[in-house]
Structure formats: C-alpha cells, structure tokens
Amino acid sequence: MLLGVNIDHIAVLREARRVNDPDIMDSLSIVKIAGADQITIHLREDRRHIQDIDVTKIISSSSLPVNLECAKSEDIISIVSALKPHRATIVPEKREEVTTEGGLLVDVNDDVLKNAISILQSQEIEVSLFIDPSKDAINSAISLGVEWIEFHTGEYANIYAMLYGNLSSSHHAISELKLPRKELIQRLSDEIENLENLSKYASDMGLRIAAGHGLNYQNVSEIAKIEDIEELNIGQSIIARSIFTGLERAIVDMKVLI
C-alpha cells in the first residue's frame, strides 16, 4: 500500500507568520528519502495554506507524483488543469470548515462536476473523487468515468477515537454522544467491514482506491489491512509528529505501520 504525504500543514505553519519558514520546498526531498510515494496538497479556495505558487513549484520540482486536492468550481479547475498535476482529487469544500468534513455528494447530473472531470481528463490528469464509503457514491463515480476514488475515513477515525480516546476538545459534539463501549466496538467493526466490502466492489468494477482523513499512528493498521486499497493519504498526524521527531522519522514510522 502506497503512502501519500499531505504537506499542507507545513504551509499552515508558514502562513501563521507569512514568512517563508518553514519552506515547504525543503520537505520534498525528505518525503522522498523517507520512502513515501506521493506528495499530496490541497489548493483551497480560500488559500489558507497552499498558494498557487507553491503548487507550481512543487509540481515542477517533485520527483514523486503530485496529487492535488481541489474543489470542483470552474476557476479552481482551470488553474489545476493548467498546472497539470499527476492526479486531481476533487473534494467538497466549505470555507468555514476546519478540514474536509465529509465526502463529495456525487450526483451524476451535476454539470459542474461533469465539466470539471472532463476538463481535467482532457489534460491527461488522473481524476479521483473523495467520497464517503457508500455504494451509491461508488456507482456514481463509475458513471462519471473517473479512474480513482478516495474513501473519506473520517467516520472510522472518529469512532476509533471515541473508543481509544484521542479526541481533542473541539470534537466535543462527537464525544457527547457517549455511546456504550460495546456499541462503539460494533460500529468500528461495521465500519471496517463496510470499507473492505466496498473496496472489493469498487476494485472489481475497475476503480483504483485510495483512502484518507483522520488516519494516524493508532488507527492506520486496520485500514492498511484492506487489500483493495492501493494508497493512503495522510497529513495531520504525520506533520504533527514531525514537530517532535523530524519529518523523515515521522514518515518512516508511518510506513512501517502500513
């Protein structure tokens, strides 16, 4: 299973001071040396971390393939199609959200989405849709003719955190659910089974499968066991650990677990 390292949070730290420190370009060789397989970045509409110039420089300098996450909107897609990353992962975006909170609503009659996919594919960019793990979303992705899907593993990560406790106080709403432990264990195993079955289904239907969101050093192993998932994209937990261990070590630790 391949690892894409989402380096957005290096730019989050830089933007906190608006100076070029840390320099995101310094991370490219470290990610590669550590054995990761892909650079993942998200050009958000509000440009809160990655900037257009970062994308240009990263795509031209990275020896690893670049997976560029983006919204389906016309102006973002025209930027992405001109920059020509290896892959574009279309994600839902709300300006107020802290992070991508759920999968894309994949509607086969959504002209904006259809248009985005066709513009990207006309530039020979692989297209992936970031979706919740559901059969309907997979079937819609198949109808739309994309090469990849990425399962949003946020629900899995939340249940895992409720059970084994690494929820931050900002996740209070979830922890307030206070489900009995037995029920949480059941929900976790249902979630894993669902991801396994849907990965098999999507793979049999010819899709390539990635997964990501909320994966960390505690919860990654169960997802890494799912054979039909080819790749994980992980950001927050790796960049957070790198503050203490350095980026190379943090990536190596994750690779070992995967």
Q: Catalytic residues, which ones?
A: 42, 69, 213
Return d(Cα 211, Cα 38) in angstroms, integer.
13
6 vs 62, which CB is nearer to ligand PXP? 6
Q: Which amino acid is at 134?
A: S
99 touches ligand PXP by CB under 6 A: yes
* Residue (99 or 189) nearer to ligand PXP, CB: 99
Q: Amino acid identity, residue 206?
A: G
Is residue 235 at the binding interface for ligand PXP, with CB under 6 A as the rule?
Answer: yes
Q: Does 81 bind ligand PXP (CB under 6 A)?
A: no
Burial class (CB in 10 A: 0-12, 13-18, 19+), 103: buried
Pick the binder of ligand PXP from 86, 197, 236, 257 (CB under 6 A).
Answer: 236
Using CB under 6 A, which residues numbered 193 to 232 contact ligand PXP? Answer: 212-215
Strand partners for 129: 90, 149
Minimum CB separation of residue 124 from ligand PXP in Å reads 21
Say how far apart CA 37 and CA 52 lie, in whole Å: 23
Q: How far is the CB of 99 from ligand PXP (least distance, A)?
A: 5
Q: Which of 14, 42, 44, 72 binds ligand PXP (CB under 6 A)?
A: 42
Judged by CB under 6 A, the residue of 38, 62, 81, 89 near ligand PXP is 89
Q: What residues pair up with 130 in beta bridges, in sequence order?
A: 150
Structure tokens that stand for 241 in this block? 């650990």
Show the tokens assigned to 248: 């190379």
Minimum CB separation from ligand PXP for residue 203, in Å?
A: 19
156 scored as a contact of ligand PXP (CB under 6 A): no
Site size toward ligand PXP (CB under 6 A) is 18
* Best CA proximity match to 3, nearest among 31, 43, 41, 42: 31
Percentages helix, strand, coil for the chain, rounded to the nearest 5? 50, 15, 35
Residue whose CB is less far from ligand PXP, 151 or 196: 151
Minimum CB separation of residue 239 from ligand PXP in Å reads 8
**Rounded distance between C-alpha atoms, residue 124 and residue 103, angstroms:** 24
Q: Which residues bind ligand PXP (CB under 6 A)?
A: 6, 42, 69, 89, 91, 99-100, 130, 150, 212-215, 233-237
